Amino acid sequence: MARKRTNIPTKPDDARSTRSIEALQQALLELLDTRSFDQVTIKDITEAAGLSYPTFFRRFAGKDDLLEHIAAGEVRRLLKLGEAALGAREPSSSAQMCEYVQANRKLWTTLLTGGASSAMRTEFMRIAREIAYSRPQANPWLPIDLAVPFVTSGIFEILAWWMRQPEDYPVDHVIKLFNALVVDITARPRTLSFA
């Protein structure tokens, strides 16, 4: 019996599929070093990856889907670096987070200020919610369903603002902004009475 026809791309877990996905991701990232996302075509991506056009569509619905896949991984990496800062355990993780973005500035500029910004915001929120529910809160009086959008919006807006600044904008200034506007406000334990 023939396989049922579908328009939904698949992302199987076998080694060949994983290599194809990694090659497509790497190709897009390399292309973004030389041109904007809007200027990149699927043909460009498949040629740079050394894969066929149909292989691309077996994995992704389009280049936006590929970018969203990359975005999900990047957000997860970034929030993992920032988790220690927000948990008030390791203040230097704010620096690690900002240095990671700086090292991948071209990609983060595309993700935060380009066509993927809406997907990025959603992904920030989704992953931050997972993290928030998986660990103890520094401030139990602060409702998680308020803290998550507040913190993720703060992180997102600071980083998006930074990506619109000249490339030589000092990273240490961004770290100070991040610590003052996000970490100090939400992660530092404090007592609040509603009486």
Instruction: Tell me the average pLDDT across 47-74.
Output: 92
Residue 182: helix, strand or coil by DSSP?
helix
CA separation for the pair 126, 130 (Å, rounded): 7
Q: Where does 104-133 have alpha helices with state H?
A: 105-113, 117-133
Per-residue model confidence as pLDDT tens digits over 99-123: 999 998 988 988 888 767 777 888 8
pLDDT of residue 16: 85
Residue 89 has pLDDT above 70, yes or no: no
Q: Long-range contacts made by residues 184-190, C-beta under 8 angstroms, separation at least 24?
A: 186/86, 186/138, 186/139, 186/142, 186/147, 186/150, 186/151, 186/154, 187/85, 187/86, 187/87, 187/88, 187/138, 188/88, 188/138, 189/88, 189/138, 189/139, 190/139
Q: How many CB atoms lie within 10 A of CB 114?
A: 15
- Banded model confidence at residue 142, pLDDT cuts 50, 70, 90: confident
Residue 1 has pLDDT above 60, yes or no: no
Residue 39 has pLDDT above 80, yes or no: yes
Instruction: Tell me the average pLDDT across 21-39.
Output: 87
pTM: 0.76
Residue 7 has pLDDT above 70, yes or no: no
pLDDT of residue 3: 46
Residue 176 has pLDDT above 90, yes or no: yes
pLDDT of residue 194: 79
